[in-house]
């Protein structure tokens, strides 16, 4: 009889059971096959998306020369940029407040901050639409002020994420470091700048990338708050799809996917590093 | 500032002003008084240790000196200056924190230089003083390391250098050795005492470890429940504890209740129901109502086979003697500790040095033994 070279499958060796492998394979397929198809067909040399007719990059060229789409992309990046800056300041400060101070209704404030995260986007979008209509927010301002309404809407759902990430980072802060700085002569501000801020940095970077990505690819809330002159990239793609799903749409979508995947990877990298340095010696 | 040779108590020298004066300081957290009407003076050049169990208020006292907590009542003076309303960053003291609180994103040099940079010291001075401080704590050559590349002991040295470079009037240390392993702790005890001698700065240390306190301090204040139980030199604290708490907390001790039946200037006798008659070669001073406690240290008791104890030369026959059976033994290498059950049902703790390699074989479980002690050994405690 042949000797068994491979050791028996242990109870926790899930990856070595064919049934488990099949399961994982199926999950991966259903998750990613549509995305892969979308990307592959962005290179399809055909007006239709159904049959493969050869490789081309002309739709990327077309996307690049689609002025309206490029204008939408410019809007999206501008909105994402300002949303990130404002969310960073608001979220960072909110995190410090919730971490540092005890005050009445603190739990209520914490809960209220998480609200934009849990409220369905569609409700949030409608609420924003009604809100801006009610207060009579001007719709005829010059660029980039015309993007104000969308930016405000984005900030409301982005800054709680920044606050959450930064706060979890602050939980690992050793208060004695701040006291040590003051003990060595630092003022409140100097101690914040020299000790607390460097500790918050990985959280701030991860939070910023998160906010940027969420703002960039938000559709629902933006759809309700954008005016005729303030089309964003996702909204524009949506309107293109309504006419027909051409490879141009695929190309535009692929660009957006690549952009967000890169940003999210960088954010995850910083969050990972943060988790590791949090575990190390205080 | 005048400094004194270390390990010499400078309590009653009227010409020297105390560097720290704590006057009737009380700190309340809600209803609880963490520090209860404490007054004490710390002299320049002292290595002063606040010793007590956890939660006794010693750390609160230290943090009030540093300025991180404010006294509810009373005042603290540093070098004659009232510190009420002076924030931590303007006090002439520096602190070494329990966690060391080394800034993790700065290298060793930048950590040590931090206080000087805040004080806008000229660049060249910073370099010289940082070099000097690093050499003092034996970290020269490690200036470019980041804190996560250092061992626990090295990080503590960074914290020490970072404080010492500021040339404070007083250095405060919060449980400085608690995070180190036993061997390193023993080495650091000597090194800290050495360092204090070299720089001549007053050290105030908080610890719950009596060995640490006894080995480093020039003077110890034992703190219990927010009050100072006793303030004395290490040897006085050990040999002449003022009350049961101190006797029990510092070192180990056998305590017996008894009645003082003779109290003359040259001798005293305590009748203990659980121990017999204890003869002491000096009188008892202080108010008492007949009931007192006798404290007997384990190492001050000699062990004999039953009936073989020679009569005590310095006490009347039948005094300072007790019989018992060995019920427990723990061999610790240098000494062996015996638990001896006496006919009264009380257990006496006796320690015996292992002077030769075979000493540990002299006695074993269930052996009947006699114990004897010198008439100078028992301490009569009134509180």
- Which tens digit of pLDDT belongs to each residue from B296-350? 999 999 999 988 888 777 888 888 989 999 999 999 989 999 999 999 999 999 9
Nearest-10 Cα torsion for B175, B176, B180, B186: -110
Lowest mean per-residue pLDDT among B45-54, B158-167, B300-309: B300-309
Residue B347 is given by DSSP the state: E
Residues in chain B within 8 Å Cβ distance of A182:
87-89
**DSSP calls for A8-72:** PPPTT-GGG-HHHHHHHHHHHHHHHHHHHHHHHHTTBSSSSSSS---B--HHHHHHHH-HHHHHH
- The secondary element (H helix, E strand) that includes residue B322 is strand B321-331
pLDDT tens column, A227-282:
777 888 888 888 888 877 778 888 888 888 888 888 888 878 877 776 665 444 33
Mean pLDDT of chain A: 86
Sign of CA dihedral B31, B37, B42, B46: negative
List, in sequence order, every beta strand (DSSP E) within A41-178: none
Question: Are B118 and A190 within 8 A, CB to CB?
Answer: yes
Interatomic CA distance for residues B216 and B51, integer angstroms: 12
Cα B217 from Cα B214, distance rounded (Å)? 6
How far apart CA B260 and CA A166 sit, in angstroms, is 67
Could you please state the CATH topology (level 3) that the domain comprising B253-381 is classified under: OB fold (Dihydrolipoamide Acetyltransferase, E2P) (2.40.50)
**Which of B103, B126, B169 to mutate to test binding with chain A, by most A CBs within 10 Å of its CB?**
B103
Between strands B321-331 and B368-373, the pairing is antiparallel
For tokens 């006490």, what's the residue? B315
A199 touching chain B per CB within 8 A: yes
Please name the member of B104, B152, B162 whose beta carbon is closest to the beta carbon of A184: B162
The total of other beta-carbon atoms located within 10 Å of residue B63's CB is 19
Helix, strand or coil, per DSSP, at residue A192: helix
To the nearest 10°, the Cα dihedral for B335, B336, B337, B338?
A: -150
Instruction: Name the residue with tokens 């998306």.
Output: A49
- Residues in B touching A183 (Cβ below 8 Å): 66, 88-89, 94-95, 163
Query: Which among B14, B4, B89 is positioned nearest to B46, based on CA atoms?
Result: B4
Residue with tokens 């020299």: A194
Domain extents for chain B?
A: 6-244, 253-381
Mention the CATH class of domain B6-244.
alpha beta
B104 in reach of chain A (CB within 8 A): yes
Which of A176, A190, A194 lies closest to B101 in CB terms?
Answer: A176
- The answer to whether residues A199 and A169 touch, using CB atoms and an 8 Å cutoff, is yes
Distance from CA of A168 to the nearest CA of B (A): 18
Q: Quote the ipTM score.
A: 0.83
pLDDT tens-digit readout, A209-220:
889 989 988 899
Question: Which of B60, B63, B102, B118 is the best mutation test for A, with the most CBs of A within 10 A?
Answer: B118
A142: contact with B, CB 8 A cutoff: no
* Cα(B52)–Cα(B47) distance, integer angstroms: 16
Contacts with A179 from chain B: Cβ below 8 Å: 68, 88, 95, 97, 101
């Amino acid at each position: 009889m042949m000797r068994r070279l491979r050791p028996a499958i242990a109870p926790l060796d899930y990856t070595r059971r064919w049934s488990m492998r099949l399961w994982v394979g199926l999950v991966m397929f259903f998750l990613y096959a549509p995305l892969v198809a979308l990307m592959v067909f962005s290179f399809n040399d055909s007006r239709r998306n159904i049959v493969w007719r050869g490789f081309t990059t002309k739709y990327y060229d077309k996307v690049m020369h689609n002025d309206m789409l490029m204008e939408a992309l410019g809007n999206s990046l501008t909105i994402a940029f300002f949303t990130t800056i404002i969310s960073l300041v608001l979220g960072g400060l909110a995190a410090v407040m919730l971490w540092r101070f005890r005050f009445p209704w603190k739990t209520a404030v914490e809960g209220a901050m998480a609200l934009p995260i849990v409220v369905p986007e569609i409700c949030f979008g409608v609420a924003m639409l009604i809100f801006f209509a009610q207060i009579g927010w001007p719709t005829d301002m010059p660029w980039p002020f015309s993007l104000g309404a969308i930016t405000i809407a984005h900030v409301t759902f982005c800054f709680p994420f920044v606050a959450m990430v930064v706060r979890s980072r602050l939980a690992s802060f050793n208060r004695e470091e701040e006291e040590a700085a003051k003990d060595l002569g630092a003022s409140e501000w100097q101690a914040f700048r020299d000790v607390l801020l460097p500790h918050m940095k990985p959280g701030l970077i991860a939070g910023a990338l998160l906010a940027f990505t969420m703002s960039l690819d938000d559709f629902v809330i933006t759809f309700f708050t954008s005016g005729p002159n303030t089309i964003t990239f996702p909204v524009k793609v949506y309107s293109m799809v309504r006419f027909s799903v051409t490879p141009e749409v695929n190309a535009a979508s692929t660009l957006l996917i690549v952009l967000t995947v890169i940003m999210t990877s960088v954010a995850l990298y910083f969050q990972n590093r943060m988790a590791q340095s949090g575990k190390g010696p205080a | 500032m005048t400094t004194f040779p270390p390990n010499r108590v400078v309590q009653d020298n009227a010409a020297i002003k105390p560097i720290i004066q704590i006057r009737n300081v009380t700190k309340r957290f809600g209803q609880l008084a963490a520090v209860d009407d404490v007054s004490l003076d710390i002299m320049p050049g002292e290595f002063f240790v606040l010793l007590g169990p956890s939660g006794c208020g010693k750390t609160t006292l230290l943090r009030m000196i540093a300025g991180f907590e404010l006294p509810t009542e009373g005042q603290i003076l540093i070098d004659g200056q009232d510190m009420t309303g002076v924030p931590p960053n303007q006090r002439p003291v520096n602190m070494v924190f329990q966690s060391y609180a080394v800034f993790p994103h700065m290298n060793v040099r930048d950590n040590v230089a931090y206080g000087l940079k805040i004080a806008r010291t000229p660049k060249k001075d910073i370099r010289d003083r940082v070099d000097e401080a690093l050499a003092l704590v034996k970290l020269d050559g490690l200036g470019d390391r980041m804190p996560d590349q250092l061992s626990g002991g090295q990080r503590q040295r960074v914290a020490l250098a970072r404080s010492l470079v500021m040339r404070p009037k007083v250095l405060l240390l919060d449980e400085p050795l608690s995070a180190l392993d036993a061997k390193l702790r023993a080495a650091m005890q000597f090194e800290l005492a050495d360092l204090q001698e070299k720089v001549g700065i007053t050290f105030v240390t908080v610890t719950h470890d009596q060995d640490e306190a006894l080995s480093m301090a020039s003077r110890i204040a034992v703190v219990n429940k927010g009050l100072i139980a006793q303030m004395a030199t290490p040897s006085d604290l050990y040999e002449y504890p003022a009350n049961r708490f101190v006797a029990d907390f510092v070192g180990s001790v056998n305590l017996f209740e008894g009645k003082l039946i003779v109290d003359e200037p040259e001798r005293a006798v305590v009748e203990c129901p659980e121990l017999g008659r204890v003869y002491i070669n000096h009188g008892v001073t202080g108010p008492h109502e007949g009931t007192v406690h006798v404290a007997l240290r384990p190492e001050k008791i000699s062990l004999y086979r039953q009936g073989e104890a020679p009569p005590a030369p310095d006490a009347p026959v039948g005094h300072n003697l007790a019989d018992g059976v060995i019920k427990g033994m723990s061999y610790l290498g240098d000494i062996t500790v015996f638990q001896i059950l006496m006919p009264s049902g009380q257990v006496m703790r006796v320690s015996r040095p292992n002077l030769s390699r075979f000493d540990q074989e002299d006695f074993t479980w269930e052996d009947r033994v006699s114990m004897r002690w010198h008439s100078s050994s028992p301490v009569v405690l009134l509180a």
